[in-house]
């Protein structure tokens, strides 16, 4: 195996796509992150990666800025970690192939603040789901979108990729998620009813489950709802429901997870429902069970003391 850094990078990208089953988007991101490291350090061989080089690179990365509408901002710690995770995975690949280089354990991620969930209350959720209340195709579509998001916990991209040949008489159906991984999601009676009413109103023969309404069809791709259009549907329904908070499809996904946990589901099951590859990602929802444990503690602890 060549020790040329550019050739090794290409071999690594092919490895994670073919052997590890990473999505094309993930491979593209890793390519960009590693290319930036190679460009900045001017490195030619894997053996030349040193702790001193990493310290300098991290300092440089921390001082980089991106341009926002409000002006330039430093790259967030979370974004910096994406670069470091890609580099650490690359170093693990080199070590696996017996190429002498910096140990992956030397790559420590930047500390980020505790992640806070964007949630809406139970009452706000019910108002959101009830917002599309007409019998026209658009209202029926929007109702089906909202009910299916809350019923399944799907990511917005997963929802947009659904086709109408799904058996909605069944209690579950498979979905292809991140990394091309297949998982089973379950559909509630409310969501099933909403989707069936929407499909019964459709007169087209397009395969996509969710399509645009009231637009001239210039191409099949233009007809299918994409991530942005689904986000707009959720936003418009939230405004109609009188919710002042920012509501997105991911907020509904959070509501799906916290609803399961608050009603007794275990964290491992919720991980499977959400399609998280690592349970540490699911642990952002433990505040729900923590609050329940606190309530139990207050209710039962120390009652025998006088």
* CATH class in words for 5-106: mainly alpha
Please, which contacts does 288-294 make with residues 24 or more away whose CB atoms are closer than 8 Å? 288/258, 288/261, 288/262, 289/261, 292/262
Query: Looking at the annotation, which residues are catalytic?
Result: 155, 178, 250, 253, 276, 285
pLDDT tens profile 219-240? 555 688 898 999 999 999 999 9
Domain range annotation of the chain: 5-106, 122-296
Output the CATH code of domain 122-296.
Answer: 1.10.443.10
pLDDT tens profile 135-189? 999 999 999 999 999 999 999 999 999 999 999 999 999 998 887 789 999 999 9
In this prediction, residue 214 carries a pLDDT of: 72
In this prediction, residue 283 carries a pLDDT of: 81
- Record the pTM: 0.67
Tokens 């259009």 sit on residue: 229
What single-letter DSSP state applies at residue 184?
E
Sign of CA dihedral 21, 267, 254, 66: negative
In this prediction, residue 70 carries a pLDDT of: 60
* Residue 217 binned pLDDT confidence (cut-offs 50, 70, 90): low
Consecutive H or E run containing 126: helix 122-130
What single-letter DSSP state applies at residue 164?
T
* Residue 289 binned pLDDT confidence (cut-offs 50, 70, 90): low
Q: Enter the tokens of residue 141.
A: 């579509």
Tell me, yes or no, if the two domains 5-106 and 122-296 fold the same way.
Answer: no
Largest CA distance in the chain: 77
């Amino acid at each position: 195996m060549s020790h040329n850094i550019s050739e090794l990078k290409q071999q690594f990208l092919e490895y994670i796509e073919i052997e590890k089953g990473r999505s094309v988007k993930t491979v593209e991101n890793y390519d960009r992150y590693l290319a930036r490291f190679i460009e900045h350090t001017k490195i030619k061989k894997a053996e030349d990666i040193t702790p001193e080089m990493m310290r300098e690179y991290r300092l440089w990365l921390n001082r980089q800025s991106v341009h926002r509408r409000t002006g330039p901002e430093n790259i967030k710690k979370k974004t910096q970690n994406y670069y470091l995770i890609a580099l650490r995975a690359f170093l693990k690949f080199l070590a696996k192939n017996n190429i002498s280089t910096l140990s992956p354990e030397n790559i420590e991620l930047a500390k980020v603040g505790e992640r806070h969930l964007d949630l809406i209350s139970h009452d706000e959720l019910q108002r959101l789901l009830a917002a599309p209340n007409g019998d026209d195709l658009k209202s029926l579509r929007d109702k089906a979108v909202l009910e299916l998001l809350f019923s399944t916990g799907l990511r917005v991209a997963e929802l947009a990729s659904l086709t109408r040949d799904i058996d909605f008489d069944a209690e579950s159906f498979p979905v292809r998620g991140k990394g091309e991984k297949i998982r089973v999601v379950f559909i509630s009676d409310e969501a099933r009813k909403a989707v069936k009413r929407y499909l019964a109103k459709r007169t087209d023969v397009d395969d996509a489950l969710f399509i645009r309404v009231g637009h001239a069809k210039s191409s099949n791709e233009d007809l299918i709802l994409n991530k942005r259009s689904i986000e707009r549907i959720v936003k418009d329904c939230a405004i109609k429901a009188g919710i002042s908070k920012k509501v997105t499809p991911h907020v509904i996904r959070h509501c799906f997870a916290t609803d399961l946990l608050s009603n007794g589901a275990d964290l491992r099951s919720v991980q499977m429902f959400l399609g998280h590859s690592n349970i540490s990602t699911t642990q952002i929802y433990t505040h729900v069970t923590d609050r329940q444990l606190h309530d139990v503690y207050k209710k039962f602890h120390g009652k025998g003391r006088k």
